[in-house]
Structure 1
């Protein structure tokens, strides 16, 4: 019996099916990776040079660039009244003296504004980086605690968080609480003004490093700081400014968050080992007496 000859198209069919299978197997992970990439930066407006990319894990990385012509920043389009705000940051490497990198909340720039700050003051090469934390309420500030970080914040990303509710403000570094600013009903505290989230990189030569003694060396620029993994688990204020806010359901455990025993231990550790400035110990700055909360901490 003569052998039946397959047509050219019949011979090609298995190969075509195999090729399609291979192509789809290649494209599916790529498509999954693409869909997994979420652009949190879309929640912000930007100023200056802000570069955006994705790392290998699919996390969006926003990088701020500072040069002699301009600093940079991004600002949330929404305002919040209480919440938990976190971000991972990789600071400027090498000689960053004179620069200031920030992650903070603010209600605006008026004389009666509220603000919660995490500011990273640039340092000379191999010198420790200072984290400045501060709280403003109704225009009343001057409540800084400054800490030397116990790691190199430019070598890799580290997590920074602000937890803000009507009881206290908690500052955290890599899930370690370093400071708790408590509310006292007879003292100023940010409770009513919605705040936007900001991140900036700017020239703070007049103040940042050794009280302004070490300015920026522009020959080391441009300077770049990177942010990723931003989250805001928070109550969104009404867009019309008419008051009220919408809070997440079932995810607002931060609303009742207060200092616990673990926080007390880590705050005490940070004070012993890292605290390098405490406004409650600066008698020269407060000749008429320390702010009221200093005697209650």
Structure 2
């Protein structure tokens, strides 16, 4: 998820795609956790960190980066507990009801796969194993509760590893873009937009794998769809 001004990277057990930080320091030095007894650091040698999040009837779990960011490239490898839809969402102008949901073209429980978000002033790009599946241009969910959790398979455990980021740290959100510190390597993503091939994979993902599009949810937007629905 991304906001227009700044972003604190978050991972929760029900999210399928979310970013994290590069493995350089200890996990607890870089992240705040939610549901501490449901977060298990399996390996924390500074190079190949692996963390498992558990969801059961008593609690969920997650972790948030201590830093906030303004633009960047973020990726994480995840192995899920059970097949789920991938939910992508964007927060803009204080509104976060911008989900696109996809059925993945592989079994996300069989092995680790790489989920990446590229966020720059031009657009936000969601990728799975380097395949673009969604682009949100910078124009600056559940299915209405029908799907219930089947607790017979609990506890649900999601494993994360190989966190990486190449991003501009924004420790003064009120200061905006000029106050951010950007590392070397920003040129690889700061002006990135999808070419014809990338737009083709987005069209393929939307045609063959998308299961929910907020721009087609009249129940959720009875007064009319958000403006970007007509621009895209």
Are residues 1:51 and 2:37 paired? no
Q: How does 1:81-230 map to 2 (within 5 A)?
A: 81-93=70-82, 129-184=84-139, 189=140, 208=142, 211-230=144-163
CA contact (8 A) 1:51 1:63 kept: yes
**CA spacing shift, 1:240–1:295, aligned 2, 3 Å:** closer
* Paired position in structure 2 for 1:71: 60
CA contact (8 A) 2:56 2:156 kept: yes
Q: Spell out structure 1 runs of 4+ moving beyond 6 A.
A: none
Q: Aligned partners of 1:72 and 1:227: how far apart in 2? A: 13
Q: TM-score, normalised by structure 2?
A: 0.79
Q: Aligned partners of 1:279 and 1:269: how far apart in 2? A: 18
Q: Which runs of 5+ in 2 are unaligned?
A: 1-22
* Paired position in structure 2 for 1:245: 180
* Post-superposition offset of 1:242: 4.8
Bigger Cα displacement from structure 2, 282-291 vs 250-259 = 282-291
* Paired position in structure 2 for 1:196: none
Q: Aligned partners of 1:289 and 1:139: how far apart in 2? A: 18
Are residues 1:254 and 2:189 paired? yes
Q: Aligned partners of 2:76 and 2:115: how far apart in 1? A: 6
* Post-superposition offset of 1:272: 1.3
* Post-superposition offset of 1:80: 0.5
Q: Aligned partners of 2:87 and 2:80: how far apart in 1? A: 14
**CA spacing shift, 1:269–1:66, aligned 2, 3 Å:** same
**CA spacing shift, 1:224–1:237, aligned 2, 3 Å:** same
* Post-superposition offset of 1:141: 2.8
How many residue pairs align between the two structures?
203
**CA spacing shift, 1:40–1:84, aligned 2, 3 Å:** farther
Higher fraction of helix: 1
CA contact (8 A) 2:72 2:186 kept: no
Cα RMSD for the two superposed structures: 2.3
* Post-superposition offset of 1:75: 0.8
CA contact (8 A) 2:72 2:167 kept: yes
- Decide which structure has the larger Cα Rg and report it: 1
